[in-house]
Amino acid sequence: MMTVGLFALIFVSVGGLAYAVMTPGSGRAQKRVIAVARGGNAAPASPAARGGADVQQRRKSVSALLKDLEKQQKANKVRPSMRKRIEQAGLKMDPRTFYVVSGFSGLIAAAACEISHFSLLATVFSAFAAGLGLPRWLLLFLRSRRQKAFTAEFANAIDVIVRSVKSGLPTNEALKIVAREMPQPVSGEFDQLVESLKVGVTLEQGVRRMYERMPTAEVNFFGIVMTIQARTGGNLSEALSNLSTVLRDRKRLQGKIRAMSSEAKASAMIIGSLPPSVALMVYMSSPNYILPLFTTRTGNLMLTACVLWMSCGIFVMQRMITFKH
């Protein structure tokens, strides 16, 4: 009986195995085995693996966004108009008023040369310098001074935004605090940014217009950070904190460059100021000795050549002591 039972058990086992192999469900089993072997039906990924995949995806998104922003900046990199330059200098006038003031400046210089009985070439040169060169140089000086004042306080403004965001305030409220508490010209630029956000302008468009009014590398960095945070998300306070650290490092680097190039700048200023200073002293002591430079054609040519050579020398020295950082 035990032998018969053993044979019956073996028969049932073989029959069940044959049924499992021959039935259609076995195909699904084989597909499942193949999928497992290929990794297609693997176990759910761990939180660390999912986090790594998210980080990689976000890095790809940020890299693509940076490339798009770089292309946009290259496409929009054109010479600013006179209206933009006046706005960047912080002046409240239109281009027509600027041109009228420049014309009056040239006429005054020409009249002064005529009263002093200078030659026609000296009169034309003086009117050209006073009408075109001097106003634009003054505009460039005011623009540079305003940008330096903005850069000096911009890192502190970023710190105010970071502390406000960490305390739970929304980004718009943090920008309002900067517009209200920081000195000019930082408060003025952020006030225009806040006002543009009130009328429906997006944050990305607002910081782009802010960069048009204040075209500095620091504002460009701020616009990139805010654009990336708005499109891809992330920790805004941490990103702005890192930006503040970078801005302060740039400021320290600027101080080192200024200290290292101070001797060369002093030499350039002394060498550049010697010819006009000597000419003025000679004119005050013996005017008849130097007047032929201004009253004769040969003297005018010599004076023009001296101005050109001095300008070339000053330009070369300025390029030698200018460092990009």
Q: Is the pLDDT of residue 122 over 80?
A: no
* Contact present, 317 and 140 (Cβ < 8 Å): no
Number of residues that this document lists for the chain: 325
Mean pLDDT of the chain: 75
**Which pLDDT belongs to residue 49?**
47
Helices 2-22 and 25-38: crossing angle in degrees, nearest 10, is 70
Phi-psi region of 182 (alpha: psi -120 to 50; beta: other; left: phi over 0): beta
In single-letter form, the type of residue at position 220 comes to N
Q: What is the pLDDT of residues 186-223, one digit of tens each?
A: 888 888 888 888 888 888 788 888 888 888 888 888 88
Residue 273 Cα distances to 8, 187, 276, 287, angstroms:
118, 38, 6, 20
pTM to 2 decimals? 0.63
Q: How is domain 147-249 classified at the CATH fold level?
A: Receptor-associated Protein (1.20.81)
At 244, the pLDDT band (50, 70, 90 cuts) reads: confident
Give the pLDDT confidence score for residue 43 in this predicted structure: 46
Question: To which residue do tokens 């607002």 refer?
Answer: 206
Which of helix, strand or coil describes residue 117?
coil
Asked if pLDDT for residue 8 goes beyond 60, the answer is no
Give the span between the Cα atoms of 253 and 259, in whole angstroms: 10
- The answer to whether 244 and 158 are in contact (CB under 8 A) is yes
In angstroms, the CA 102 to CA 255 distance is: 36
Tens digits of residue pLDDT in 259-273: 877 777 787 788 778
